[in-house]
Chain A
Amino acid sequence: MRPFKYQSAATVKDAVGAVSKSEGSKFIAGGTNLVDLMKEDVERPAALIDVSRIDLKQVRSEGDSVVIGAMAKNTDTANHPLVRMNFPLLSQAIFAGASAQIRNMATNGGNLMQRTRCVYFYDTSMPCNKRERGSGCGAKEGLNRMHAIFGWSDECVAVHPSDMCVALAALDAVVKVEGPEGKTRDVPFSAFHRLPGDDPTRDNELKNGELITSITIPKNKFAGNSYYLKVRDRASYAFALVSVAAALELDGEKIKDVRIALGGVAHKPWRARKAEDYLRGKAPKTEEFEKAAKLELADARALEHNAFKVPLAERAIVRALRQASQ
């Protein structure tokens, strides 16, 4: 690991000020992603500003929404009564990720900002446009079993690894960020992460020095009919091959509203809007779920080793919707 200066920030202002002032500075929260990447020499910050002690750890109700603090731990968020009651989908998604130890350390802000697990990104002896712009993409022609089937570009075919973010995408969360001079802005979840396009070095729309302060989730009527399904190489403690966050609002024999988001398939949590549009007003029946899933996957573009993800995602959508409808 390369040497760095360390400083603990007490307030958002201190943290934002410290990072926006010096080029190579980075925030550190739980450290579960950043410390790992620093050991691998992928991240090389000159200074770390510790934001984990900033008082943004609450989960609270605010009008028609629940606001979760950026520094709250994943474990505390998933177990909070407000989250378990209103958004069991989010609790499930968080519990599906990593291990108990890691969830105890990981913060909500850090979870949104975690970087891809693409092995070429991690291996500094390999080309990777995300790590070093213009060096090439090792995965595109290399081993790409774990990679994207939606929204990739020739520059990068990586996927976003978070489970929590898949649920937040389905729940139409809003990310609150604060930048220099106390400027705040609200970023809708679907506009927070980005597709790689011609600059995969940028995972999301956060600007340098901006700190995520909280995530707002509007209350909804999905709590009784939602399910987070994660398909992986082993039963626990593995990143998703494909995951599905499914939520239904039923009105008698009809689907009044529906949300479907996929993980493990794109550079950002993938909202299955085609499937959603098809299902609104239909009956919550397996045949309809199958039609919707097929429609969504029609646009998928597989790479050399991940063609299996297309039928897998299709079936996973159907299974998650069936589970949610029960």
Chain B
Amino acid sequence: MTDHFEDLHEAEELTADEEKLLDELGLEGESRRRFLGQVGAAGFSVFAMQLIAERQALAAGEVPIEPAAERLPLENSVKVAFNVNGEKRSVTVDSRTTLLDTLRERLDLTGSKKGCDHGQCGACTVIADGRRVLSCLTLAVTCEGKDVTTIEGLAKGETLHPMQDAFVKYDAFQCGYCTPGQICSAVALLDEAKRGEASYVTETTGNRSAKLSDDDIRERMSGNICRCGAYPNILKAIKEVHRGEETAATWNFAKPGLLKKEVGDETV
């Protein structure tokens, strides 16, 4: 058997680049022979060529953003440029593509979720030009020049947005699928309240700077459905951030210290 691998290796010469790649992969001696035997030297060459070409492109700064999708024939292709989470993005899309699919499938931002895809559940909520909107009913081509913020754009580095913190603190979710939409919606709600915007349950002509009541928060969040029914905790989270009203959390992530239980002299 070993002889057979030996033959293969000997029969087809590897280039210097390919040799280097095998070294980087940590394949030496017997394991290198075994690997080449399984893929065949010719197969390895194809793999190596692709990898080497991509590395060269990367080194030259020509990063293909969407290699696979760009190669598909688009029936009515439209180029659209907009800002996503503060970064300029430019994509060529079929005119039918929604903002949601563009974010998820083309820009690798899979935080925004596809729930009903018909504007009825709110899981796809993002913030466009400061307003919460449904990305599933927004055609990407209509976003030219707009500023889009998704759940991925709320935290500052490692520091969560206060609304994200509050959702964690109050356990404002179960399965988590609706959560990115809930949080984007809640963040936009804070600004709407600051601007004095009304709702069906507020006095339309009344005091514009008043803090929102529980019923008002519920009404304003009615476009975000939660099938797990985490509504009471979602309300608590929003209340804390909007009204600065802290409620004792009934639940929290265990801290390392809490996990350690003293049993005699031992720590388990």
Contact = CB atoms under 8 A, between A and B. Distances in A.
Partners in one complex: yes
A102 B223 contact: yes
A3 B122 contact: no
Interface string A34-48: 011001000000001
B244 to A, nearest CB: 22
A236 B218 contact: yes
Interface centre among A28, A50, A79, A104 (most CB of B within 10 A): A104
Interface of B: 75-76, 78, 94-96, 98, 117-119, 122, 125, 131-134, 137-139, 141-142, 144, 185, 188-189, 192, 195-200, 204-205, 218-220, 222-224
A52 interface: yes
B248 to A, nearest CB: 28
30 contacts: A1-B96, A3-B75, A3-B94, A4-B76, A5-B76, A6-B76, A8-B142, A31-B142, A32-B137, A39-B118, A52-B142, A75-B131, A84-B205, A85-B205, A92-B204, A95-B198, A95-B200, A100-B132, A100-B223, A101-B133, A102-B119, A102-B134, A102-B137, A104-B132, A104-B133, A105-B138, A236-B218, A236-B222, A237-B222, A237-B223
Given A3-B96, A35-B98, A236-B222, A84 B122 contact: no
A6 B95 contact: yes
Contacts of A95: 198-200, 204
Contacts of A8: 142, 144
Contacts of B196: 79
A50 B142 contact: yes
A35 B139 CA distance: 8
A235 B200 CA distance: 11
A230 B132 CA distance: 24
Given A3-B95, A6-B76, A35-B139, 16 more contacts: A6-B139, A8-B144, A36-B118, A52-B142, A85-B205, A95-B199, A99-B223, A101-B125, A101-B134, A102-B134, A102-B137, A104-B132, A105-B137, A230-B200, A236-B218, A237-B222
A69 interface: no
A99 B94 contact: no
A184 B197 CA distance: 34
A91 interface: yes
B267 to A, nearest CB: 50
Nearest to A83: B204
Nearest to B132: A101
Contacts of A102: 119, 134, 137, 223
A102 B116 CA distance: 14
B197 A3 contact: no
B198 A79 contact: yes
B31 to A, nearest CB: 51
B137 A100 contact: no
Contacts of B94: 3
A92 B219 CA distance: 13
Contact of A91 (B133, B192, B195, B198): B198
B139 A31 contact: yes
Contact of A105 (B95, B98, B133, B141): B133
A96 interface: yes
By Cβ-Cβ distance, the 6 closest A-B pairs, closest first, are: A99-B223, A236-B222, A95-B200, A6-B95, A237-B222, A3-B75
